[in-house]
Amino acid sequence: MSDGVRGKGDAVATPGSVAALVDELAELLAVSDRFAARDTIAEAREIIAAFYDVPRFWPAANAHVRVESEMWPRARAAAQKRARGAPLAYAVGRANFRHLTLDIDERVLIPRPETELLVDLVLERAVGQRELVVDVGTGSGAIALALASEGDFAEVLGTDVSLDALAVAHANRRILAARGALRAEVSLAHGSLLAPLRARQQRAGVVVSNPPYIAFDEARDLPADVRDWEPPVALFSSGQGLDISAQLVREAADALIDGGLLAVEVDARRASLVAELVARDTRYHAVSVHLDLTGRERFVLATRR
């Protein structure tokens, strides 16, 4: 690679090294018109960093390190998938969420940094609570597993209408449980919204959710790597993006104990509408809207009377 692409001072690739793998992946990425020539090296390093679960700068700082043989086909496959337009998380099959590294694929949404703040809000509001928590639409299990690893809850129940998503969540739960990373029991159940909780004839101390909230006619405005790769069932809701959130608000009022917490991620354009939905239900009080990392209204919280 020329200095103009790789950068002056970078190590010369030796066979079997990280630098050699970077070069090979960059060539695979170069067939795509998604990446300018100067970007392929950075993309290749991101792929390697994701597989090793290390910071982005690690491949550049450790260019001389020898790469084990089994890593090469995995990295090549990831680069080829990335060249076809897959988001990085789907290409490498994993994503970071708070302090967890989760296995993911196209059956589930890619966990977002914004959703990490939803976990923060629940942990702050439920300090010392030992009740059951329900994560509605758990997907990869990101929210449920983060709460089970960081909170003091008796149990976390993740529900999802998608059996494919639950298969991913089950796999992540097994991995984290084997590592001793979970402080609370995590259960997973198939069903729409809070139906699995009703079947158990229980009530919850917290209902938390990042539900589908994009209107169907907004699909064309989504980035291609979201529209073409992420599961529609986890993205879209009828009623201009509001129907699922509205149903969740109604069901959660029946499912929560007195003083229980409802915490929902919402479309920043519709936060006030969701807050109004909650406020009109007299079973709730202390309705509040909270901002995401970019200062947009992203979360609605309320307490069951």
Residue 10 above 70 pLDDT? no
Last residue of a domain, one of 92, 120, 139: 92
Residue 174 lies in a domain: yes
pLDDT band at 7 (very low <50, low <70, confident <90, very high): very low
Number of domains in the chain: 2
Question: Same domain, yes or no, for 145 and 199?
Answer: yes
Structure confidence by residue, pLDDT tens digits, 250-279: 999 999 999 999 999 999 999 999 999 999
How far, in Å, CA of 210 to CA of 245, rounded?
Answer: 9
Higher pLDDT, 8 or 129: 129
Whether pLDDT at 291 is above 60: yes
| Percent of the chain topping pLDDT 90 | 91
| pLDDT score, position 129 | 83
Is residue 12 located within the same domain as residue 147? Answer: no
Reported pTM = 0.93
Of 101-105, 129-133, 199-203, the least confident: 129-133
The whole domain housing 62 covers: 3-92
Model confidence pLDDT, tens digit, residues 141-164: 999 999 999 999 999 999 999 999
297 and 242 inside one domain: yes
Do 186 and 245 have their domain in common? yes
Residue 149 lies in a domain: yes
Query: Is residue 100 domain-resident?
Result: no
Over residues 281-288, the mean pLDDT reads 98
pLDDT in tens, 68-100: 999 999 999 999 999 999 999 999 999 999 999
